[in-house]
Amino acid sequence: MSRTRTAILAAMALVAGATGAAVAAAPADVGIAAIPCTVDYKVQSQWNTGFTAAVTITNNSAAKSSWAVKWSYAGNQQVTSGWNAKITQAGTAVTAANETYNGTLATGGSVSFGFNGSYSGTNSLPTTFTLDGVTCNVDDGGGGPTTPPGTGTRVDNPYAGAKVYVNPEWSAKAAAETGGSRISSQPTGVWLDRIAAINGVNGGMGLRAHLDAALQQKGTGELVVQLVIYNLPGRDCAALASNGELGPTEIDRYKTAYIDPIAAILADTKYAGLRIVTTVEIDSLPNLVTNTGSRPTATPACDVMKANGNYVKGVGYALNKLGDVPNVYNYVDAGHHGWIGWDDNFGASADVFKQAATAEGATVNDVHGFITNTANYSALKENNFTINDNVAGKSVRESKWVDWNRYTDELSFAQAFRNQLVTVGFPSTIGMLIDTSRNGWGGTARPAGPGATTTVDTYVDGGRYDRRIHVGNWCNQSGAGLGERPKAAPATGIDAYVWMKPPGESDGSSSAIPNDEGKGFDRMCDPTYTGNPRNNNNMSGALANSPVSGHWFSAQFQELMRNAYPAL
């Protein structure tokens, strides 16, 4: 996805296959104060037959209660879908009018919307825009060429044109496994899951050691380093296996002993040439929506964290401090479709993310994007059925597996949730990451086609790639496989497929194991467990004999390779 902020004069038309931004040029004799409006039109991503664009309009005249932006294409571009505006097209002329929720446009105020389009030949940039019939111009804020990569200035998609850091410690463990050399050179996330991890645990690599190793791997090109920021007070209030070292009230220690030292290291100019991607606090914020109050899935620990506000404060503080480092790209964890894909959870979760992104001095501009399916197993794409299918008089949504969810897989969820996040106020330039480290679901159990149409359940269960007993099962799942290999810009709105969870690292222990890492025992990691309301009281589907979360689990690693899809 392109997030270029440089104003490119509209006369410099885009050639096919490129991305850029178009703006209307101000006449030389018009002062900035006289400019009635400015429009910034960005092509975020483009492929052979289509593109995604974002438009920001700034009103410098009288306040408006409704608005309409118009432009015309020189080629055969056709808008196919949009968000944050009602977009219509007649021939080459396009009109984007406000939705009911964003019609107010104050003097000096801005509004953004986006759309997908198709084209053939050349996707030339529009040259003229109007706001309510008045021609808009550009104030590019000084504009000029973007700073060359590698100087600390954020780029559009950090994964584009870059290698990604291979963790030497994980790589060595993978290579030591039979057959592991097939994937030991893949990039994975570095988990900073406690304060001690910053300096290294038991003689292992700390944050500086990883960054120094990344500089060695970087060479003369660009390189992304993936870090998982994971140590909130009262962490994982609904999952004991990954409880952390900080108690529910230790927000000050989280700030001063954990986030501040990480931020100081990342800000070292020695590392300014690295692109540092942070996954900020997995499995935290959605708990405030789904596991609190009167819901049957509520836990007392999550009620405490909602009441004291320390999840929101902690995430906001992390975004603020880490976002101050110019070469850091914050991606907030956004759960997965089997958690917040339901109507009751979808919009409410986006609202909570907005609350956290504007807490403790943070702003939405500190968020470069979001990541879904971190350390989870939701299939990337279910091809054998869709949410709109009907079988034996019932919708797929009525099947026991889908259970009224709006989404059947991670890709459709991530793309839709991105639009929802923009709707609640995040920049239209945000991109999504999807963790595909364990969602391949290949091997002999992978269905070759749809299930029998006897009932909606036989249809869905017979055709689904995701072979978990229940979509709420999350711990060391039996039958799982490696998913799509890490890849930049694989789909509209998606910055990358990543392996943020290193394959072979356990989700939690099958039985209680004393440890000094603050990690508890969750029955969802016990293969004999019969479940709870969060998985509709189904069996856990977990592998036996698993170690404490984060520790190497050879049996799981072998199973992931065996069931990989695409196959190894």
DSSP 460-514: HHHH-S---SSTT--SSBTT----SPPEEEEETTEEEEE--SPTTB-SS-SS---
- pLDDT reading at 190 higher than 70: yes
pLDDT at 153: 66
Q: Do 283 and 166 lie in a common domain?
A: yes
pLDDT at 34: 57
State the residue range of the domain holding 251.
162-562
For residue 58, give the H/E element and its range: strand 50-59
Extract the tokens encoding 361.
């001095």
- pLDDT reading at 47 higher than 80: no
Extract the tokens encoding 177.
């496994």
In the chain, the largest separation of any two C-alpha atoms, in whole Å, equals 77
pLDDT at 517: 83
**Distance in angstroms (rounded) separating the CA atoms of residues 194 and 214:** 21
Q: Is residue 143 part of a domain?
A: no
Mean pLDDT across the stretch 125-136?
88
pLDDT at 146: 32
177 burial (CB, 10 Å; 0-12 / 13-18 / 19+) is middle
Q: Do 53 and 185 lie in a common domain?
A: no
- pLDDT reading at 82 higher than 90: no
Report how many domains make up the chain.
2
Q: Do 117 and 174 lie in a common domain?
A: no
* pTM for this prediction: 0.74
Q: Do 248 and 369 lie in a common domain?
A: yes
- pLDDT reading at 446 higher than 90: yes
**Distance in angstroms (rounded) separating the CA atoms of residues 190 and 501:** 8
Local confidence band at 117 (pLDDT 50, 70, 90 cut-offs): confident
- pLDDT reading at 331 higher than 70: yes
Local confidence band at 145 (pLDDT 50, 70, 90 cut-offs): very low
Q: Is residue 98 part of a domain?
A: yes
Q: Do 432 and 479 lie in a common domain?
A: yes
pLDDT at 440: 97
Of 85, 120, 135, which residue sits at a domain end? Answer: 135
283 is catalytic: yes
pLDDT at 280: 98
Q: Is residue 514 part of a domain?
A: yes
pLDDT at 291: 94
Q: Do 49 and 110 lie in a common domain?
A: yes
Q: Do 388 and 521 lie in a common domain?
A: yes
Percent of the chain with pLDDT over 70: 91
Q: What is the dihedral of CA 508, 514, 517, 519, to 10 degrees?
A: 40
pLDDT at 414: 97
- pLDDT reading at 44 higher than 50: yes
Q: Do 518 and 424 lie in a common domain?
A: yes
| 327 alpha carbon, distance to own chain's centre | 18
CATH of the domain at 33: 2.60.40.290
Residue partners of 34: CB distance under 8 A and separation at least 6:
none
212 is catalytic: no
Do the Cβ atoms of 14 and 124 come closer than 8 Å? Answer: yes
- pLDDT reading at 1 higher than 60: no
CATH of the domain at 393: 3.20.20.40
Q: What is the mean pLDDT of the chain?
A: 89
What residues are paired with 54 via a beta bridge? 42, 114
**Distance in angstroms (rounded) separating the CA atoms of residues 379 and 276:** 27
- pLDDT reading at 84 higher than 90: no
Catalytic residue (choose from 40, 156, 283, 409): 283
Q: Do 60 and 171 lie in a common domain?
A: no
- pLDDT reading at 8 higher than 70: no
Q: Is residue 343 part of a domain?
A: yes
- pLDDT reading at 148 higher than 70: no
What residues are paired with 100 via a beta bridge? none
Mean pLDDT across the stretch 332-346?
96
Extract the tokens encoding 116.
């997908």
What's the pLDDT tens digit per position in 510-554?
A: 999 998 887 888 899 999 999 888 889 999 999 999 999 889 999
Do the Cβ atoms of 379 and 465 come closer than 8 Å? Answer: yes
Q: Do 254 and 326 lie in a common domain?
A: yes
Extract the tokens encoding 520.
């508890």
Q: Is residue 148 part of a domain?
A: no
Least confident of 68-82, 136-150, 197-211, 393-407: 136-150
Q: Is residue 28 part of a domain?
A: yes
- pLDDT reading at 299 higher than 90: yes
What residues are paired with 78 via a beta bridge? 118
Q: Do 244 and 292 lie in a common domain?
A: yes
- pLDDT reading at 20 higher than 70: no
392 burial (CB, 10 Å; 0-12 / 13-18 / 19+) is exposed
- pLDDT reading at 9 higher than 70: no
- pLDDT reading at 32 higher than 60: no
Q: Do 375 and 260 lie in a common domain?
A: yes
Catalytic residue (choose from 40, 366, 435, 507): 507
Q: Is residue 12 part of a domain?
A: no
- How many other C-beta atoms can be found within 10 angstroms of the C-beta atom of residue 344? 12
Q: Which residue has the higher pLDDT, 45 or 451?
A: 451
Least confident of 30-39, 69-78, 402-411: 30-39
Q: Is residue 62 part of a domain?
A: yes
**Distance in angstroms (rounded) separating the CA atoms of residues 385 and 564:** 21
Q: Which residue has the higher pLDDT, 186 or 243?
A: 186
pLDDT at 347: 97
Mean pLDDT across the stretch 229-252?
91
pLDDT at 409: 97
pLDDT at 435: 98
pLDDT at 24: 42
